Chains A and B, each alone.
Chain A
Amino acid sequence: MITTVVELDQWTDVFQTSAGAIYQSDAERCWYVDFAGKVAKFDYRCLLKLRKAVYHIDIEQALLNTTKDPDVEIIFICACDHCYVLSLLQIIALKELLEGTFVMLELNHIIHDRLYNLPL
């Protein structure tokens, strides 16, 4: 428990919703995704792959699907240690979390450009 607190101290909160949160670790140059009961580490490539995989799921199609299959999606990302097995509601929540995160990262990029990378 104590180690978690120490780790969180070095992480920057990128975006949070009631369903989860994404933190950035500058030291490790990666992101920690706190979602569906676990905290998973994602590097640049894997985070992009996660975004692609989640955005790729056709939520509308899944909602309209009347077959008896369970509404569960398995998000498996190649060359990444983590795998998610999520219900439809969780997918919507994860998508919201990722959308917010990338907006914040984009905003951070703009701030960096405007404040720190100014030509002298």
Chain B
Amino acid sequence: MKDLLRIKSLISSEIETLLNQQVKKEAYSSSVYLSMASWCNRNGYDFSSEYFFKQAEEERHHQLKFYKYILDMGGNAVSPEVTGIKQEYNSFREVFEEALDQEISVTNSIKNIYARCMKDQDFVTMEFLNWFLKEQREEEYKARRALELFEVIGEEGTGRWQIDKHVGQIKYDSEA
């Protein structure tokens, strides 16, 4: 009897489900960042708004990367439904706290898929995920650095204006 499932698809249906969940997670992240960009813009934090617009774009790019990978491997990529996006934030700081939470949750989720791939010896998907693991280093660094600015600059006086100005300059160019 031929192994028809393997002929049709390189990835197992469990991995496919996990990757589709990740597609949804990335789409959700992208929408959250878009909402943060809107909030920052409405409240006068233009540099941060621009920063979140860029982040939203990046998350969308990640989403498409997963999406195309599933299709290329013979799987069924599912266009996700994204709901429940928070539109209002209590403070400027809260926006960045939630941005970091969001990135931590994405990192965990990718680690989870990686662990499953290891169990299944799906080295092809593991290799694909390596790019994302490296990307998460940058994402988490940037989110953590933004929060750090609140500590080192302080929110008093023109602090928030200063923080906003510096958020736009956060870069990660480590060679490590």
A contact patch SS: helix
Q: Are B2 and A29 in contact (CB under 8 A)?
A: yes
Complex Cα gap A106–B2 (Å):
12
Q: Are B1 and A109 in contact (CB under 8 A)?
A: no
Evaluate whether A112 and B76 lie within 8 angstroms (CB atoms) in the complex, with A12-B1, A24-B1 already known.
Answer: no
> Could you say which residues of chain A place their CB within 8 Å of the CB of B7?
29
Complex Cα gap A14–B3 (Å):
11
Q: Are B6 and A109 in contact (CB under 8 A)?
A: yes
Whole-angstrom distance from the CB of A109 to the nearest CB of chain B? 5
- B8 beta carbon closer than 8 Å to chain A: yes
> Could you say which residues of chain A place their CB within 8 Å of the CB of B152?
none
Complex Cα gap A108–B3 (Å):
6
> Could you say which residues of chain B place their CB within 8 Å of the CB of A109?
3, 5-6
- B176 beta carbon closer than 8 Å to chain A: no
Q: Mark B75-110, 1 if CB is under 8 A from A, else 0.
A: 010000000000000000000000000000000000
Give residues of chain A (30-50) contacting chain B, Cβ–Cβ below 8 Å.
31, 44-45, 48
> Could you say which residues of chain B place their CB within 8 Å of the CB of A108?
1, 3
Complex Cα gap A26–B7 (Å):
11
Q: Which chain B residue has the least Cβ–Cβ distance from A11? A: B1
Complex Cα gap A56–B172 (Å):
44
Q: Are A112 and B6 in contact (CB under 8 A)?
A: yes
- A89 beta carbon closer than 8 Å to chain B: no
Q: Are B8 and A44 in contact (CB under 8 A)?
A: yes
Interface residues on A, range: 10 to 19
Complex Cα gap A14–B6 (Å):
16
Q: Are B2 and A45 in contact (CB under 8 A)?
A: no
> Could you say which residues of chain A place their CB within 8 Å of the CB of B5?
44, 105-106, 109
Complex Cα gap A24–B4 (Å):
9
Q: Which chain A residue has the least Cβ–Cβ distance from B7? A: A29
Q: Are B2 and A24 in contact (CB under 8 A)?
A: yes
The residue from A14, A31, A45, A48 contacting B13, defined by CB atoms under 8 A apart: A48
Q: Mark A57-101, 1 if CB is under 8 A from B, else 0.
A: 000000000000000000000000000000000000000000000
Q: Mark B145-160, 1 if CB is under 8 A from A, else 0.
A: 0000000000000000
Q: Which chain B residue has the least Cβ–Cβ distance from A24? A: B1
Q: Are A45 and B76 in contact (CB under 8 A)?
A: yes
Q: Which chain B residue has the least Cβ–Cβ distance from A45? A: B76
> Could you say which residues of chain A place their CB within 8 Å of the CB of B1?
12, 14, 24, 26, 108
Q: Are A48 and B3 in contact (CB under 8 A)?
A: no
Complex Cα gap A45–B8 (Å):
9
Whole-angstrom distance from the CB of B86 to the nearest CB of chain A? 29
